[in-house]
Structure 1
Amino acid sequence: MNTKLLAAALTGIMTVASVSAFAADSHKDQEKCYGIAKAGKNDCKAADGNHECAGHATKDNDANDFNFVKKGHCAKEGGSLEAVKAEKKAN
């Protein structure tokens, strides 16, 4: 097997593992706050499955989109710790 290819593959695997560990640790003092995300500014996928990525919210304050906030601050920002989870829209 090509040594450079093997080295590149191992580097890629280690990078993914370290990024995943960092991402999990970066939200340890935060909670998901639904209903406060502005269009295009959500932190991850929608609870109802309408989209799968951060930044894909199509309207402000959708009850299925969230932003991470400091623990204990969601209600102060007008959000909810639980999503509505309405039916997924037909494409």
Structure 2
Amino acid sequence: MNKTMTTASLALALGAALTVAASPAFAADSAADKEKCYGVALKGKNDCKAGAGTSCAGTSKTDYQSNAWTLVPKGTCEKTVSSTSPTGKGQLAEFKEKKA
């Protein structure tokens, strides 16, 4: 290999390593700006928790399921529409679904 190719390869490898090392820090920052919002996920689109008999992400059985949450930007949950919520908006905790 010539010197230019070796230098370019080293620079590329170093850049990739720095990107991978910074990713967890970026993910932690963005997660800090989010909150769990119950009752806003569509069927099969929840981030986690969807009640008994389900495992986790993507397991909600119905749209706007009251015990399934998704991460949303902080401060937006209780402004997001939820047709099953007693208030008509997402909730920061599980809730009992209103009767249709």
Please provide the CA RMSD for this pair.
2.5
Structure 1 spans left out of the alignment, 5+ residues: 1-18, 86-91
How has the CA–CA distance of structure 1 residues 40 and 76 changed in structure 2, closer, same or farther, with 3 Å as cutoff? same
What is the deviation of 1:49? 3.2
Following the alignment from structure 1 to structure 2, what is the Cα–Cα distance between the partners of residues 51 and 21? 30
Structure 2 spans left out of the alignment, 5+ residues: 1-22, 81-88
Following the alignment from structure 1 to structure 2, what is the Cα–Cα distance between the partners of residues 33 and 67? 5
What is the deviation of 1:52? 1.6
**Larger RCO (CA under 8 A, 6+ residues apart):** 1
1:67 aligns with 2:34: no
Ranges of 4+ aligned residues in structure 1 off by more than 2 Å: 19-26
What is the deviation of 1:84? 2.8
User: 2:70 is paired with a residue of what secondary structure?
Assistant: strand
Q: Structure 1: which amino acid aligns with 2:46?
A: N
Q: What TM-score, normalized to structure 2?
A: 0.55
Q: Match for 2:40 among 36, 43, 56?
A: 36
Identity of aligned residues (%): 50
Q: Render the CA deviation track for 1:42-75: whole Å, top value 9, x for unaligned.
A: 00122x3331220011100011001100111001
| Structure (1 or 2) with the larger CA radius of gyration | 2
